[in-house]
Amino acid sequence: MAQEVVEAPIPGKILEIYVKEGDKVEEGDIICTLESMKMENPIMAPVSGVINQINVSPDQAVKSGETIAVIEY
């Protein structure tokens, strides 16, 4: 199976995670919410598949390009 890495597009703080490892997601489903500059940004699945890894937790600060999740498809 192929893997798609979901990266943080901007630096910020993870507010909430909506999926867990093993969950099936469809393209466009929200994986988590990232707060940056007092704005909440939904981080969406770029492909349909199964969440293989979640690399963040709520209240965690992330840098731009940091891996949030890995989706197998």
Task: Pick left, alpha or beta for residue 46 (phi over 0 → left; psi -120 to 50 → alpha; otherwise beta).
Answer: alpha
Confidence of residue 1 (pLDDT cuts 50, 70, 90): confident
Q: How far is it, in rounded angstroms, from Cα 70 to Cα 73?
A: 10
- CATH code for the domain of 37: 2.40.50.100
Tell me which residue has tokens 């093993």.
22
Q: Residue 37 CA to chain centroid, in angstroms?
A: 18
8's enclosing H/E stretch is none
Q: For residue 22, what is the DSSP state?
A: T
The size of the chain, in residues, is: 73
User: Which tens digits make up the pLDDT trace of 6-25?
Assistant: 999 999 999 999 999 999 99
Record the pTM: 0.94
Q: How many domains does the chain have?
A: 1
Provide the residue range defining the domain that includes 17: 3-72
